[in-house]
Amino acid sequence: MRLAHINVLRNAYLDDVEAAGKAGDVRAIVHASISALADTVVGTAWGASYLQVAAQTMFSPSLFNADLLDKNAVSGLVRTRRMVTAALPDLPAKVMDYRLMWFNHGTVFSLADWYQRTHGEHGAPPVDELADYCTAGLTGPVTRTTRATRRGGKARQD
């Protein structure tokens, strides 16, 4: 029920993005997706609790079971992924997968952290700033070789 509520909002906001002719605008897509969650946090009695549980569950494999998710209740997330992917056709698939995962995790964790720190007492969440941050991460340059070392001290090759 709660995920379905967020999904309805997310799809409505993505409909607005498309109606405005911005289906290829990564920031508009990101802002719409984040806004669905942020508006739920401040606009429902249960939103903040849902967000805290979602953040905890996301980072605990023993708590998260994707098989239990209602696939119809995540159509907005799937749509967001498809729209971002279509807007960034030159991004390698593996890089896109990582960035979309980090976008999702970063959004949930950042909003949960914002609420934990403010208890919603400072008005609306900083959606614009979070959208800017996530957009920069999704659209940033692709580095083929990182300086980060992995096993054996070798540089990681993508």
What pLDDT score was predicted for residue 147?
Answer: 39
Write the Ramachandran bin of 5: left for phi over 0, alpha for psi from -120 to 50, otherwise beta.
Answer: alpha
Which residues 6+ apart lie within 8 Å of 36 measured at CB?
A: 6, 7, 9, 10, 13, 76
**Closest listed residue to residue 95, CA positions, set 143, 36, 40, 24:** 143
Single pTM value for the model:
0.85
Instruction: Please write the tens of the pLDDT for every residue from 85-139.
Output: 999 999 999 999 999 999 999 999 999 999 988 887 767 899 999 999 999 999 9
- Residue 119: what pLDDT? 81
> How far apart (Å, rounded) are the C-alpha atoms in residues 140 and 3?
30
Q: How far apart are CA 115 and CA 125, in angstroms?
A: 8
- Judged by phi (left if over 0) then psi (alpha if -120 to 50, else beta), residue 120 lies in left
pLDDT over 90, % of the chain: 59
The chain-wide mean pLDDT, for the chain, equals 85
CA pair distance 158, 143, nearest whole angstrom:
8
Residue 146 — very low, low, confident or very high, per pLDDT cuts 50/70/90?
very low
Whether the pLDDT of residue 15 is over 90: the answer is yes
CB 156 within 8 A of CB 150: yes
Q: Per residue in 1-14, pLDDT tens?
A: 688 899 999 999 99
